[in-house]
Amino acid sequence: EVELVQSGVEVKKPGESLRISCQYSEYNLMSYWIGWVRQMPGKGLEWMGIIYPGDSDARYSPSFQGQVTISVDKSISTAYLQWSTLKASDTAKYYCVKSMVSLGVVDFWGQGTLVIVSS
Amino acid sequence: EIVLTQSPDFQSVTPNETVTITCRASQSIGDNLHWYQQKPDQSPTLLIKFASQSISGVPSRFSGSRSGTDFTLTINNLEAEDVATYYCHQTSRFPSTFGRGTKVEIK
């Protein structure tokens, strides 16, 4: 069974850095991609980017390119989403998701990580 | 970027009624359109993939169809547990994009 377990709530100040995590379970030894989706308070879903744990090949939506970094540590089955300089507008819930291909249907969602950026 | 225009934004329905949600793509995306359900304070879950393919464990009252660049999610005999926001999602062209969502409530 697939499991995506995300790190907990983060409360940060503008200008601070942050890295949130998503621990994924192996799934029948098949390869898959781990992505990130943003949901701002009371708003819809936005696809941010995705990474292939096998070789760390990462793809970003143009809206998020340069704003965040997606990475993975295959040795501990964990994907990361990080910011070097947080802004208040980064306040949102971030979902870790699984797809079989880089541009594919999301067949499983993590529980989400709430990030609050406030002075 | 492909824009998905969902309608309506909100729908209030009595139990056992049929709900129809539409998602129109700004250009041709084939069948690369999927539907998700997000119940209040929960993560989204996959309802329908590739326009009309059913998902194991999803009640049969949920169905999807396509006509050109217009996609429809139909919920037959709405139940109280179907209160949620529904999103369409295209995976035809990079970047992947979502519709703005349709909130379904019970009257």
Q: Over the stretch A20-52, which tens digit does the pLDDT of each residue have?
A: 999 998 654 458 899 999 999 999 999 999 999
Amino acid in the structure at residue A48: M
- Residue B81 forms contact with A (CB below 8 Å): no
Q: How far apart are CA B21 and CA B87, in angstroms?
A: 9
Given a contact cutoff of 8 angstroms between Cβ atoms, the answer to whether A45 and B4 are in contact is: no
Coil vs helix vs strand at B82: helix
Q: Over the stretch B61-95, which tens digit does the pLDDT of each residue have?
A: 999 999 999 999 999 999 999 999 999 999 999 99
Q: Rounded mean pLDDT of chain A?
A: 93
DSSP letter for each residue of A29-40: T---EEEEEEE-
Contacts of A110 in chain B (CB under 8 A): 43
Mean pLDDT for B97-107 is 97
Contacts of B45 in chain A (CB under 8 A): 109
What pLDDT, on the 0 to 100 scale, is given for residue A3? Answer: 87
> In A, what residues contact B, Cβ < 8 A?
44-47, 59-63, 95, 103-112
- Residue B35 forms contact with A (CB below 8 Å): no
Q: Over the stretch B12-68, which tens digit does the pLDDT of each residue have?
A: 999 999 999 999 999 999 999 999 999 999 999 999 999 999 999 999 999 999 999
What pLDDT, on the 0 to 100 scale, is given for residue A26? Answer: 66
Q: Does the pLDDT value for residue A53 go beyond 80? A: yes
